[in-house]
Amino acid sequence: MAFLLGVPAVAHLLFSWMGYSPTDDGFTLAYSRRILEGQVPHRDFIIIRPFLSPLIHVPFVLFGGEYMFWLSRLFVWFQFACISWIWVSVINRAFDRPFGLATRFLVALVAFTASVSLFPVMAWHTVDGIFFASLGVWLLTSRRRPSTRIGGYFLIALAYLCKQSFVFLAPLSLLILGEWREKKYWAATAAPGLAYGAYLLATGALDEAISQAASQTGLFSVGVLSYLNYGVGLGLVAGFFALWFVNRRSGGRQRLDSALRYGGVAVLVLMPAGFVAVGLYTGNISTVSYGVFGVLAGATLYHAYAARRRKADGAEVTEEKSGLRVALLVLALAWSASLSLGANSPLLFVGPMLAVLMAFAYFAGRGRPARDRIDFRAIQGVLLIAGVLVLVGFGMARPVHIYNEDPYTKLTKSLGGVLPGGRLIYTNPDTYAFMADLDQTVDRISKTDKKYAIIPDAPGYWAQAKQTNPLPIDWLFPVELGSQDLVDRVIRDLQAERGETVVLVQKVNAFTLAYDPLPLDERDYPVVRHVRENFDKTGETKFFELYE
């Protein structure tokens, strides 16, 4: 409990004030606002994923007020802490409890910092999916009662109602845990989807939901082709042979064999941790995450091979099988979380992957003669060094590599008063000027009889805005409007609002505000192009053009 409450509280106080991006920050919370207003997802507004994620963040919009963003970030830190502690506990149990309480705290802290890494701490569907899946795995691995296991599979299945990329996770879990013959567990994994389908039918949103989900393509490219890289390939080889060396039995040259075993531990634990630390410091942690995935895949492959060989020799392999299953679950969840056009890497699950690698190092050599074992004190030292590397890397990188922001020393402007719900959040002068310009322009329009619409960015503004967004979408990012049908729907609604709504079209690319504000390229935004070509320009500010 100390970890689950203390770690997110400290992280929140240290980092939650840092930065705001008017691109996707608050994107999920804007959907939550629509649900609060009684809008039906898919039918009344465009959402290309299932809507469970916005639903669970509704309380922060409802009760957060001017502190909405700050409070919402605390919950996201808590989610990451839960994910880390759950997986370290599951891993510890599966590998016959190699971690003592103090070591488990350290490994969980490493898992926490490695998974959060440089990801913007904001309400996000992928994090919610990992959160539900982790809770489900915890139930599955802590109790054997059928009723509990049904609940576990149900929670894993809830992940695909946060983001459809998790749809493969539930059947993969059934296969990995060897329960694919149990009909009741298949029913548990199907139940959330059936309930969702029933809701869509009842609200008349089924056709729109199918159309919006179908706008997302590219599964093969993000799920297969993206993994065909040097990081995964070299990591696979390194992980396989590292665990092979760790499990090496002494032959005629005991010193050499011992050196190879300790070298294997270094490659298995120190090397990934070192690369994670460097990736954090340089801002290339997404690329590094593929390498960590490869190392774990290679080590898991060797673990499966060694267990199969021991079983053929008539040995009991219960513990090996338990560890193998957990390692496969970690790989399956890391892969599922990486299926994204915007964040296509296993970045958000680096922490549990590192934790499994540490457990592999501890587990090696159990039940062997003393000459074939690795001194656990040496492993403890390696783990401590690995942990320090990751923690120092995180501590140095997090205040510097802030999503779409300057380093923390330049975040001198409070968003309280210019971003609804933005009190206690600080940003750079350029982003502040952008949001202040937007807020002042909105305030002038609100004094007339007309409504306003904002395109293509600033979705977070709508979460606590005084006016409801008249458009069926809050963020006109190309990924969110992946088909011509969805673009046409937004344009139709714009045309229907013509004469009653002032359309604010931003002049600059919001992704570059903090560094070097570049002009918005309308070729990436067909709705922006339509407004500029077909509406009348009636005014202009520093950052926006006004059209009616």
* Partners of 539 in the β-ladder: 546
Q: How open is the CA angle 451-44-463, to the nearest 5 degrees?
A: 55
H-assigned helices in 338-402: 350-363, 376-397
The two counts, helices (H) then strands (E), for the chain are 22, 6
Rounded distance between C-alpha atoms, residue 90 and residue 85, angstroms: 9
CA 450, 46, 334, 229 dihedral sign is negative
- In this structure, the number of other CB atoms found within 10 A of the CB of residue 517 comes to 18
- In this structure, the number of other CB atoms found within 10 A of the CB of residue 15 comes to 18
Spatial CB neighbours of 462, under 8 Å, sequence gap ≥ 6: 26, 30, 33, 454, 469, 474
CA 383, 385, 388, 392 dihedral sign is negative
**Tokens matching residue 219:** 């599964």
Strand order across the 451-455 sheet: 451-455, 501-506, 544-547, 537-540
Q: How many residues in total does the chain contain? A: 548
Rounded distance between C-alpha atoms, residue 357 and residue 321, angstroms: 16
- Using one digit for the tens of pLDDT, what is the confidence trace for 43-94? 999 999 999 999 999 999 999 999 999 999 999 999 999 999 999 999 999 8
**Distances, alpha carbon 444 to alpha carbons 448, 451, 542, in Å:** 7, 11, 15
Residue type, 150: I
Residue type, 537: K
- In this structure, the number of other CB atoms found within 10 A of the CB of residue 203 comes to 15
Rounded distance between C-alpha atoms, residue 255 and residue 195, angstroms: 62
Spatial CB neighbours of 157, under 8 Å, sequence gap ≥ 6: 136, 170, 188, 189, 190, 191, 192, 193
DSSP string spanning 40-87?
A: PBTTTB--SS-SHHHHHTHHHHHHHGGGHHHHHHHHHHHHHHHHHHHH
Rounded distance between C-alpha atoms, residue 144 and residue 179, angstroms: 12
One digit per residue, pLDDT tens: the chain, 548 residues?
789 999 999 999 999 999 999 999 999 999 999 999 999 999 999 999 999 999 999 999 999 999 999 999 999 999 999 999 999 999 999 888 888 888 899 999 999 999 999 999 999 999 999 999 999 999 998 877 888 899 999 999 999 999 999 999 999 999 999 999 899 999 999 999 999 999 999 999 999 999 998 887 778 888 888 999 999 999 999 999 998 888 776 665 667 767 777 888 889 999 999 999 999 999 889 999 999 999 999 999 998 887 777 666 555 555 567 888 999 999 999 999 999 887 889 999 999 999 999 998 887 655 555 555 666 677 778 888 888 999 999 999 999 999 999 999 999 999 999 999 999 999 999 999 999 999 999 999 998 989 999 999 999 999 999 999 999 999 999 999 989 999 999 999 999 988 899 999 999 999 999 888 889 988 889 999 999 999 999 999 999 999 99
**Tokens matching residue 461:** 């503004």
Give the 3-state DSSP-derived string for 223-281, with helices as H, strands as E and coil as C: HCHHHCCHHHHHHHHHHHHHHHHHCCCCCCCHHHHHHHHHHHHHHHHHHHHHHHHHHHH
